[in-house]
Structure 1
Amino acid sequence: MPDPGALMAAEIAEQPAAWRRLSIEGRDQVRAAARRIADYAPRFVLFVARGTSDHAALYAKYLTEIVLQLPAGLVSPSTMTTYGSRPDLRQTLMIAVSQSGGSPDLIQSLQVARERGALTLAVTNQPSSPLAEVSELDLDIRAGEERAVAATKSYTTQLLALYLLLDAVRGGDGSATDGLPDLADQVIADNDQFVRLAERYRFASRLVSTGRGYSYPTAREAALKLMETSYLSAQAFSGADLLHGPLAMIDRQVPVLATVNDGHGGAAMLPVLSRLRDLGADVCCVGAGEAVRAASAGYALPGQVPEEVSPLLEIIPFQLLALHLSVARGSDPDAPRGLAKVTETL
């Protein structure tokens, strides 16, 4: 019998290689899709996704609004599948993000979007999937087969593919990502630090994760990983929303996972961290060294990368924490109860 979490651990470790592969082998496909999008000149960008991929889509929403300065939104698939909505989507780019490309609600949403005038793009780990087949354009994230139920390498390669695409649309060359695989190797090599962090939170029954800007999707993905692997009650809030009411539930018994980058989002988190300290909260911080040193515990990310690509690195410590916390609590993160690798919804 394989060790608990062996698949998840292997796939976390494969991420730097997957990023290098996508950056090289996917370059022409990214450029071709970017040219088509630039020629189409959308006035609005919609994203549709589920689960982990929904957090990648949220990241891309931030990128679209900041980098391309276009309005962007996240689609509720049920409006088209359950309620039969058929909106006018001319001058709209709709991007579907899915590891498997097999969920019926995403397929139907993209079909409707194409029928209603949108340019459609599928970002998947399965280039022959039904989702890719119904889309006009597709991007293969080239993560390789992912067997663990909890998505790790498919999530970060989705982030990378979406960044490379949107950067190419604005005329960039993707160079901001050049050093990321080497930095990711350094994070993964620090595995023992996350084993110790897992012991710190082994008996937690609930926790909160938080971040702002580009780091907010990281907070949401971190919470999901802990819920599905360690069966914790984990809630994710943007730093701003946390101060608007949920802060009242924070006490010394509710650990807070905070993602604090070196950019504008990280600066916006500083008042949040100050309030948490006032409450005596146990704050585990990932990101900028100064913020980590001021926290109860955490991990300072190596190097300095542009804020817009920092989510690729930020999530790895939380993936490793989820892996080791699950094992420490006697579970197998490769086989979380009640879950399957592909979830089909409509």
Structure 2
Amino acid sequence: MIRTPEGNAAAPTLMFAEAAEAADVVARQFERNADIVAALASALGHAPPRFVVTCARGSSDHAATYAKYLFETRLGIVTASASPSVGSVYAVPQRLDGALFLAISQSGKSPDLLRNAEAARDGGARVVALVNVEDSPLAQLADTVVPLHAGPERSVAATKSYIASLAAIAHLAALWSPQPDLRNALPALPAALREAWRIDWTALADGLVDARNLFVLGRGLGLAVAQEAALKFKETCGLHAEAYSSAEVKHGPMALVGPGFPVLCVAQPDETEAGTIALAQEFRTRGAQVWLASSHGDLRLASSPHPALAPLLAIQSFYRAIESLARRRGFDPDVPPHLNKVTETV
């Protein structure tokens, strides 16, 4: 049971229960996907793609942001996001010979993703599907399927399936890269996720109960966290939030940050960390209401077995806080207004 701000007992939401499963999901995924990912990584190592194209929508597209930064920093392979509309609406063939086309989807049913995956396959790309529904149309047309193994996810707000997507991307990058450090860190990830779930970010929920808008900032590998957090603020809390790179926000948007303006900064523990922390301090000097998630901040982050895995831990702690905030603002995070679990776009 969880408690409302008034102290009355309330049944756990589906979002709470499903987010709490993330550690078990990742452990199960690593075990079941060991042979699939090893074979795919070996094939990619022997015949490296010329470039990587990702294709996804919503939370899955935020996972694609993580893939971009992880593949580019660990493997040096240019990774770009394809606009699904180019293939599904404009119907313009793309030159993808020798590319890796990575489609990410929970349901594997959206018509635009299917059309783009078909076009990529016809254009000469190797199509890999990261998908939760293993018998979905997307899985059936892919050259390789990497199942997410998240199990049924009934809450409209994706949680464990998003973390499962990040974990599958990390698993592939770790085995594809000749450097062993990330590969050696993977077994410790489920325990770190359990620690992240126990971390208390109540201060964030306390400060945003009456908020109307905010910025969420991250950078590099951590940008995927900022994007996903901003989406969750909107869909579960009715709170307008915009995600920015902590570098990009300086190019115009930071003019909005003044006294009382809420800003959530998530510092990725790598070469980008110092800049994000400095920006948080700059905003504080302007009187902004700032929360800094870092080892040096007021929102604690779980200890990560590898810097590249830190985004999974940050979003896990965030999910617990955002579920609480949604209820405190009078929303049911399982049933956001006007939204469906499976969104099929053309």
C-alpha distance in 2, partners of 1:205/1:36? 49
Amino acid of the residue matched to residue 108 of structure 2? G
C-alpha distance in 1, partners of 2:85/2:257? 34
Q: TM-score, normalised by structure 1?
A: 0.93
Deviation at 1:278, TM superposition (A): 2.0
C-alpha distance in 1, partners of 2:247/2:187? 32
- 1:203 corresponds to which residue? 210
Q: Is the 8 A contact 1:16 1:185 kept in 2?
A: yes
C-alpha distance in 2, partners of 1:4/1:229? 17
Across the aligned residues of Structure 1 and Structure 2, the Cα RMSD in angstroms comes to: 1.6
Q: Is the 8 A contact 1:88 1:116 kept in 2?
A: yes
- 2:184 corresponds to which residue? 175
Q: Secondary structure at the match of 1:179?
A: helix
Q: Is the 8 A contact 1:126 1:140 kept in 2?
A: yes
Distance verdict in 2 for CA 1:100–1:215, change over 3 Å: same
C-alpha distance in 2, partners of 1:256/1:50? 25
1:189 matched to 2:195 = no
Q: Secondary structure at the match of 1:299?
A: coil
C-alpha distance in 1, partners of 2:220/2:324? 27
C-alpha distance in 1, partners of 2:268/2:48? 32
Q: Is the 8 A contact 2:260 2:287 kept in 1?
A: no
- 2:125 corresponds to which residue? 118
Deviation at 1:196, TM superposition (A): 4.6
Deviation at 1:271, TM superposition (A): 3.0
Q: Is the 8 A contact 1:257 1:285 kept in 2?
A: yes
Q: 1:277 aligns with which of 275, 279, 284?
A: 284
Distance verdict in 2 for CA 1:341–1:175, change over 3 Å: same
Q: Secondary structure at the match of 2:201?
A: helix
Q: Secondary structure at the match of 1:340?
A: coil
- 1:299 corresponds to which residue? 299
Q: Is the 8 A contact 2:192 2:304 kept in 1?
A: no
Q: Is the 8 A contact 1:16 1:184 kept in 2?
A: yes
Q: Is the 8 A contact 1:64 1:72 kept in 2?
A: yes
Q: Is the 8 A contact 2:129 2:144 kept in 1?
A: yes
Q: Secondary structure at the match of 1:47?
A: strand
Deviation at 1:11, TM superposition (A): 0.7
Mapping of residues 325-336 of structure 1, within 5 Å: 325-336=325-336
Mapping of residues 223-302 of structure 1, within 5 Å: 223-287=230-294, 289-290=295-296, 292=297, 298-302=298-302
C-alpha distance in 1, partners of 2:269/2:123? 41
User: Which segment is superposed worse, 312-321 or 325-334?
Assistant: 312-321
Distance verdict in 2 for CA 1:105–1:3, change over 3 Å: farther
C-alpha distance in 2, partners of 1:305/1:79? 39
1:82 matched to 2:82 = no
Q: 1:13 aligns with which of 20, 30, 38?
A: 20
- 1:308 corresponds to which residue? 308
Q: Secondary structure at the match of 1:300?
A: coil
- 1:212 corresponds to which residue? 219
Q: Secondary structure at the match of 2:260?
A: coil
Amino acid of the residue matched to residue 314 of structure 1? A
C-alpha distance in 2, partners of 1:3/1:340? 24
C-alpha distance in 2, partners of 1:281/1:220? 20
Q: Is the 8 A contact 1:98 1:123 kept in 2?
A: yes
* 1:12-63 superposed Cα distances (whole Å, 9 cap, x missing partner): 1101111111111211111122122223321110000000000000100111
Distance verdict in 2 for CA 1:114–1:203, change over 3 Å: same
* 1:198-247 superposed Cα distances (whole Å, 9 cap, x missing partner): 12210001111001111111001000011100010100100011111111
- 1:35 corresponds to which residue? 42
Any gaps of 5 or more consecutive residues in structure 2? 1-8
* 1:267-293 superposed Cα distances (whole Å, 9 cap, x missing partner): 231331232122111111212x21x0x
Amino acid of the residue matched to residue 184 of structure 1? L
Q: TM-score, normalised by structure 2?
A: 0.93
Amino acid of the residue matched to residue 310 of structure 2? S
Distance verdict in 2 for CA 1:5–1:299, change over 3 Å: same
- 1:295 corresponds to which residue? none
- 2:6 corresponds to which residue? none
Q: Secondary structure at the match of 2:337?
A: coil
Q: 1:154 aligns with which of 143, 161, 167?
A: 161
C-alpha distance in 1, partners of 2:269/2:191? 19
Q: Is the 8 A contact 2:265 2:293 kept in 1?
A: yes
1:71 matched to 2:82 = no
Amino acid of the residue matched to residue 331 of structure 2? S
Amino acid of the residue matched to residue 216 of structure 1? L
